[in-house]
Amino acid sequence: MTTTSMKDVARAAGVSVGTVSNVLNRPEAVAEETRTRVQAAIAELGYVRNDSARQLRAGRSRTVAVVVLDVANPFFTDVVRGAEPLIESAGGVVTVCDSGEDVRRERRHLEILEEQRVLGLLITPVDDTSASWIERLSGHDIPLVLVDRGAGRHPHCSVAVDDVHGGRLAARHLADRGHARIAFVGGPVSIPQIADRLAGCREVCEERGLALEVFTTAGLNFAAGREAVEQMLGLEQRPTAMFCANDLVALGALQALTMHGVKVPQECAIIGYDDIDFAAAAAVPLSSIRQPRSQLGRTAAQLLFDEIGEGAGHTHRNVVFQPELIARASTAQEL
Amino acid sequence: MTTTSMKDVARAAGVSVGTVSNVLNRPEAVAEETRTRVQAAIAELGYVRNDSARQLRAGRSRTVAVVVLDVANPFFTDVVRGAEPLIESAGGVVTVCDSGEDVRRERRHLEILEEQRVLGLLITPVDDTSASWIERLSGHDIPLVLVDRGAGRHPHCSVAVDDVHGGRLAARHLADRGHARIAFVGGPVSIPQIADRLAGCREVCEERGLALEVFTTAGLNFAAGREAVEQMLGLEQRPTAMFCANDLVALGALQALTMHGVKVPQECAIIGYDDIDFAAAAAVPLSSIRQPRSQLGRTAAQLLFDEIGEGAGHTHRNVVFQPELIARASTAQEL
DNA sequence: CGCACATTTTGAATCGATTCATGAAGGGGT
DNA sequence: ACCCCTTCATGAATCGATTCAAAATGTGCG
């Protein structure tokens, strides 16, 4: 109950509140003797600073929020891991928000983050309808960096991986292996990354005259991969290779194929995207398109603090990384 | 810059701040006409409530923190997922803190959470040295629920899975398959769950006269599993089965064994713990001990709100779930 | 008209930390 | 003794939302 405040500490130590505040925030400005007396009182009373009051005065919180599409996806946890050290060493506090690929959840998070006057934001927007909300935050002077999203015409800093190129890499690899009938599995297509990967894939398919079958899914997880396989197996002209929009989908697909006795890669090759750690450990080690995950996070954090530091005169930077093909057993078969 | 406050809204709408506050918090107490006028002003000015000020007044925040050992471990993300709906439907905001199995990081998080006057806490403590800090929070009236930790003599609510029994299940399963020389891989042993799993395993080994080799690891991830295998392969009397303290370790081990050409389960069986989704999708589908992950989260949240609701007259409850053996290919071989 | 009563609105007090102009105390130099 | 500096400590003002007793306004009825 008795939440002890600075006033209590001040009384106990026989000083003014101003002095207590100084002990906490600029100890060097307080005489040694006074300082130890105040510190003793703090310990004695078990006093804990009230962050709300602090923030109220400061006008900003120390929190940097990272809004991701799916915390259960190792891709995003790695991005967060990459960003954390820099944020923390700058005295920030990281909070992770999971939009779950749902615009409404994303919106709710953004509302709350705005009310909390967060220091800044790293966000992977769910889709283009997120834009207006993001502009709103930005308009209210909350600096933000778009993650895994080529900023295109958005007036923001961003870090991204060239997803169109990633799509090309995957499709070319499958083409090189002799596949002429390819399935793309992923969705919703409203997610820009997915659209880009598909675009790259489509481009190569047209260039090389491959048949492309698109299986749109509602999400990017195990279940999506499994369901897509169920559909695919129903077709008379079954594709000989699948390009899955991320590794979770690919692993789900792999599982379903194995369950149906379809041999991977002999009867159906699979390539995923992200190259999460689990990919290499899969039933059939999974070929994938690797993204520099933690570097993505680190760079995003860097850009954010640059922006915070530079203030008004800041010019936005857009960093684009290149993805990389990692070939493993799941595409090892030449047709 | 111009952070608009309630005062600005009040002026714009020609009412007092009290009325603006009422529009936001008890609209039914405000006359229709006034309400719409105020709402118009809010929209017009793009006003956003300042949560710090709100919290300062309220004395508490709406945030429920979940402190986990490793966000990258699907076990914990599932626990969080299980807890979220209940927390959010109660008007709470969830924040996830990753202690990374590191007491110092955990402590830093707890300090900050205490300063933020969080509404409550779901925590999986790193080890027993966390206890004093947890008592401190608890002493400052922050209700908390221990997750995945039989509260034993701790005066708190808790949800847990019987890890000793889980250890037994795993060991018995291996014994039933004819294994007489077992490796336990996991650590650090200071983590109570790990100690318990080992204890259950040891108990069965002694009971049935199996040789038990313990490989202590520094963490619970892929790398730990790989390293343990390197060590194990060096032995002259190599165990014929491994019990890994969680699935990440097991997958790492599986990967390393495969790389060294050791056939699973013929030459070495593996059983993991948690039964994360990836377990079934592994190179060799992984046997595991399943825990009711999301139920764990849901129940924890439930207990927390019970405690918050009941206030002082609350009696702590300790809920224990039973784990379940899921046998798959990685232990399919009879010796 | 006047009184009782219900409906709205008001605005000052409050939460707790930070800031900063002001003042007090002590030291040195002349 | 006097003045100038430096070093410390003070406490009132401030941040923005909420609360609540009190005031204002309106309604109905005798």
Q: Using one digit for the tens of pLDDT, what is the confidence trace for A82-109? A: 999 999 999 999 999 999 999 999 999 9
Of A54, A136, A255, the CB nearest to B280: A255
Percentage, residues of chain A above pLDDT 90 = 87
The string of DSSP codes covering A189-239 is: TTSHHHHHHHHHHHHHHHHHT-EEEEEE-SSSSHHHHHHHHHHHHH-SS--
Mean per-residue pLDDT of chain A: 93
Contacts of A280 in chain B (CB under 8 A): 255
Phi-psi region of A215 (alpha: psi -120 to 50; beta: other; left: phi over 0): beta
Q: Do A117 and B56 touch (CB under 8 A)?
A: no
Q: Report the pLDDT value the prediction gives residue A153, as an integer from 0 to 100.
A: 65
Q: At residue B189, does pLDDT exceed 70?
A: yes
Distance A40 CA to C28 C1' (A): 34
How far is residue A182's CA from residue A189's CA, in Å, rounded to a whole number?
A: 18
Span A144-166, pLDDT tens digits? 999 987 656 678 999 999 999 99
Span B200-249, pLDDT tens digits? 999 999 999 999 999 999 999 999 999 999 999 999 999 999 999 999 99
Q: At residue A51, does pLDDT exceed 70?
A: yes
Closest nucleotide over all strands to A26 (CA to C1')? C18
Q: Which of A289, A266, A109 is nearest to A186 (CA)?
A: A289
Are B116 and B51 in contact by the 8 Å Cβ rule? The answer is no
How far is residue B230's CA from residue A116's CA, in Å, rounded to a whole number?
A: 49
- Confidence label for A28 from pLDDT (cuts 50, 70 and 90): very high
- Give the N- to C-terminal CA distance of chain B in Å, as an integer: 73
Of B53, B96, B222, the CB nearest to A56: B53
Q: Report the pLDDT value the prediction gives residue A149, as an integer from 0 to 100.
A: 77
Task: Work out the average pLDDT over A206-235.
Answer: 95
Mean per-residue pLDDT of chain B: 93
List A residues 205-264 in contact with B (Cβ-Cβ < 8 A).
222, 251-252, 254-255
Percentage, residues of chain B above pLDDT 70 = 98
Span A267-326, pLDDT tens digits? 999 999 999 988 988 888 999 999 999 999 999 999 999 999 987 788 999 999 999 999
Closest nucleotide over all strands to B20 (CA to C1')? D17
Q: Report the pLDDT value the prediction gives residue B333, as an integer from 0 to 100.
A: 78
Task: Work out the average pLDDT over B151-169.
Answer: 88
List A residues 35-94 in contact with B (Cβ-Cβ < 8 A).
46, 48-56, 59, 61, 71-72, 74, 77-78, 80-81, 93
Q: Which of A84, A109, A94, A98 is nearest to A63 (CA)?
A: A94
Are A232 and A263 in contact by the 8 Å Cβ rule? The answer is no
The string of DSSP codes covering A258-312 is: HHTT--TTTT-EEE-SB--HHHHTBSSPPBEEE--HHHHHHHHHHHHHHHHHHGG
Q: Do A48 and B140 touch (CB under 8 A)?
A: yes
Distance A312 CA to D29 C1' (A): 66
Span B248-289, pLDDT tens digits? 999 999 989 988 989 999 999 999 999 998 898 888 899 999
Task: Work out the average pLDDT over B72-88.
Answer: 95
Six token digits for residue A308:
């915070």
Contacts of A116 in chain B (CB under 8 A): 51-52
Q: Which of A320, A301, A297 is nearest to A120 (CA)?
A: A301
Percentage, residues of chain A above pLDDT 70 = 98
Q: Which of B184, B203, B160 is nearest to B295 (CA)?
A: B160
Span B23-32, pLDDT tens digits? 999 999 999 9
Task: Work out the average pLDDT over A124-151.
Answer: 89
Give all domains of chain B, ordered by start, each with its CATH number.
Answer: 6-49 (1.10.260), 60-162+293-321 (3.40.50.2300), 163-291+325-331 (3.40.50.2300)
Q: Report the pLDDT value the prediction gives residue A151, as an integer from 0 to 100.
A: 56
Q: At residue B151, does pLDDT exceed 70?
A: no
